[in-house]
Amino acid sequence: MRSTAIVVTLLACLGVAGCTSSSGIDGLAPSLETTSSIPRPDAAVPQVDVGAAAPAEAVVEAVQAEETAEPAVTPIALVAVPKPALREAPYATGKIHRHRFRDAKPINFGKRSPTKLAVHGVDVSRWQGEIDWPKLRSQGANFAYIKATDGGDHLDPMFKKNWRAAGEAGLRRGAYHFFYWCRTAGEQADWFIRNVPKAPGALPPVIDVEWNGESRCKKRPSRENVLEKMQVFMDKLEAHYGQRPIIYTAPDFYRDNLKGAFPNHPFWLRSVAAHPSTVYPGRKWVFWQYSGSGLSHGVEGRIDLNV
């Protein structure tokens, strides 16, 4: 999920401020997904080009200007009936905390380093344990995506606490769902909607799609079936929250299923060894997960870092 005007557009959107029963193969254990954590504004999040990053100072100055942008009308997915992108909604701007994160396994991204982007954040789940959210905020976490649900019947035991505490600490919050390929898309969408509240100013909901080697579900559907399931899930969430969902994915799953798909959906790309433009050529993004080995005051152990 990771040109000054491009980053400014993302900042305007972020506006940083303050299923049931299961059995057999459907009885899936909570996953150990690579994502540690992500709702969305009242309109589609603008997609960010993969061009060079702008200096943070220029971004902070430019964010003072109120911007609105209207994405072009394009089909949502290869399997979807074309429909227009949602209109971006303006958001009030607030203080941007410069990041002071460290990394247990730092990577040299060269001229396209994520450190050159102004708005940093985290994603979290129960695996981060108890989080000191005010301290994490002070370290430069301007937004947080929080693990909410897996499959059709698992709720992250820390979701409600993290959701409340992150909001109280002034972070922009979003929730994400880890998708299971052995459950129907409809019941997974219903489960997410049942557990994730509509909150003013929340980031868009996220569907986390990966191949999960830790799951008892070893099913790998065809690309056509993957896209159909994703479309059903995302349509239900968009209808409920009024926000177009963001797609989080990793390189192998993207290569197998998502090249050229969902051109009108925002993407959050995991790319921890190189810039997204190298790993996902031609794909625009709104969030870039650049590290899975981040370190920060306020969290014990490692945490995923994003821009």
130 is catalytic: no
Contacts of 106 by beta carbon, 8 Å cutoff, 6+ apart: none
Does the structure show a pLDDT above 70 at 66?
A: no
Catalytically annotated residue among 88, 123, 150, 304? 123
What's the pLDDT tens digit per position in 262-288?
999 999 999 999 999 999 999 999 999
**How crowded is residue 127: how many other Cβ atoms within 10 Å of its Cβ?**
16
Q: How many domains does the chain contain in total?
A: 1
Domain holding 75: CATH number? Answer: 3.20.20.80
Does the structure show a pLDDT above 70 at 291?
A: yes
Read off the DSSP letter of residue 229: H
Tokens of 213: 């080697």
Is residue 248 within 8 Å of 176, Cβ to Cβ? yes
What's the pLDDT tens digit per position in 23-56?
333 333 444 444 544 333 344 444 444 333 444 4
**How crowded is residue 94: how many other Cβ atoms within 10 Å of its Cβ?**
15
Structural domain for 198, as ranges: 4-306
Catalytically annotated residue among 210, 235, 238, 304? 210
What's the pLDDT tens digit per position in 111-158?
999 999 999 999 999 999 999 999 999 999 999 999 999 999 999 999
Alpha carbons 69 and 8: distance in angstroms, whole number:
11
Does the structure show a pLDDT above 70 at 21?
A: no
Is residue 127 within 8 Å of 163, Cβ to Cβ? no
208 is catalytic: no
Question: Quick one: pLDDT band at residue 235, thresholds 50, 70, 90?
Answer: very high
Going from the C-alpha of 160 to that of each of 115, 177, 252, the distances in angstroms are 31, 14, 31
